[in-house]
A and B are shown apart, each in its own frame.
Chain A
């Protein structure tokens, strides 16, 4: 139980995928201009990320390892993630058109989010069992969504600042991301 808690806290804060492992930076910079968009993107990614980590874990241990096909890992994982994203999109559209409208354009973007593939591959590297993997992936999702939402609120506040010309646009976004990452460095060492 304690171990699962540690895995979770480590994935959310200590080894936050965006701020300390620098995965999933595209949505972190691209979709955090507005808070509601960031929240929708975070939620959609969280769902796909957890699901794909579970499915790829099963695939690895039930198919790839028994058949000696580990060299197909990256290829098959990408296919799995892409199909899961499609499946999610179809299901959401059928069940809740409203949710589909909210998540709409974000779902396909998740296919190319390196955090999703990253979590699937990194959890294998740590020798996690199925439950560990689920907790790890869920923690990574929560960490991703948290950082997206926090950063979006920061950027919305920045809009009204009278920034020096040289820092307008991308520079201030990257500087703020760096300072946020600096703040997260304080968690270093927790759980080790």
Chain B
């Protein structure tokens, strides 16, 4: 892929993020904008230093926009108004360990943004709770999100917990449902512009829906929650259309991408339903990235660029 091509794609991705980001600002305050400014600033500074260390030309690499997209995804995924050291650690980890250690964009095994996000998530879990959406009457600085209330509900049916807890909206998390809708619209734009492959998001959303349906059992106290609730809460739509679709870290064949998407959807549901983290998109994407080379090996590689060398000594 040539540089102007990459820049065009990255600009399109940033434009497609806009509806979701604006809705996120509307529901959760302007903290998302400070996140964006800080993370992108740290990211460009880190990229500059890393490129200098590697003795690579600095300007073209920064101008192609991949750094801005990586850091924007981190900034959006983290709760609004995250402390700057956390944003710094996330951005530097993403670019340093996720990207440049592997030789830069195109060679990275893992999605850099998710490497940075997962590192700060396991390091500072307490500092990364989401604030309640505006209009929610909760006193605490960080109210339980829909996924948290849902996971820790005690013996309530789905309908009961929906009424009792303030974190629930019309069809997903209060406020979060509209943010997810915003990213869905952006994702559909990317599909319309033929920038992302439909297979990954579709397979991921269907994978989530299948698991949710299997565990739904009419909404009893032990059920998993409806597919629509899971689609429109947490970071589902952002992951499906903007994160999992990264062409470098997903399998190259069509069938491989279907499998990859379904795997990510399944792991997200496993973590949401039975795991210790309220939402597990970063881990699910990293696991998908890790399995992608194996999927390529067994399902076949369409893209000849990724064909394997004959022998490598163990």
A interface residue numbers (CB < 8 A to B) = 30-35, 37, 149-151, 153-164, 167, 171-172, 175-176, 179-180, 182-192
Contacts and interface: CB of A to CB of B under 8 A. Distances in A.
B294 A161 contact: no
B148 to A, nearest CB: 13
B102 A161 contact: yes
Contact of A190 (B104, B109, B274, B314): B274
Contacts of B280: 186
Contacts of B109: 154, 157-158, 176, 179
B287 interface: yes
A158 B144 CA distance: 41
Interface in B92-138: 97-98, 100-104, 107, 109-110, 115, 118-119, 122
A183 B281 CA distance: 10
A185 B275 CA distance: 10
Nearest to A171: B101
B276 interface: yes
A191 B314 contact: no
Contact of A182 (B100, B122, B309, B313): B122
A188 B275 CA distance: 6
Interface of B is mostly: helix
Given A157-B109, A160-B309, A187-B270, 17 more contacts: A34-B311, A150-B293, A153-B293, A153-B297, A155-B312, A157-B306, A158-B102, A159-B308, A167-B101, A175-B101, A179-B97, A182-B283, A183-B286, A186-B267, A186-B283, A188-B277, A190-B275
B291 A150 contact: yes
Nearest to A35: B297
B314 A156 contact: no
B271 interface: yes
A188 B270 CA distance: 11
A154 B107 CA distance: 11
Instruction: Name which of A159, A167, A171, A179 has the most chain B CB atoms within 10 A of its CB.
Output: A179
A156 B101 contact: no
Nearest to A180: B290
Which among A32, A154, A155 has the greatest number of chain B C-beta atoms within 10 A?
Answer: A154
Nearest to A185: B122
Contacts of A158: 102, 109
B158 interface: no
A155 B267 CA distance: 23
Q: Is the interface of A mostly helix, strand, loop or mixed?
A: helix
B54 interface: yes
19 contacts: A32-B314, A33-B314, A34-B312, A35-B297, A150-B291, A150-B293, A151-B290, A154-B290, A154-B293, A164-B100, A179-B110, A179-B115, A179-B290, A183-B287, A184-B283, A186-B280, A186-B282, A188-B276, A189-B276
A82 B2 CA distance: 56
Nearest to A37: B314
B265 to A, nearest CB: 14
B284 interface: yes
A66 to B, nearest CB: 39
A157 B293 contact: yes
A181 B97 CA distance: 14
Contacts of B287: 183-184, 186
A34 B314 contact: yes
A74 B218 CA distance: 51
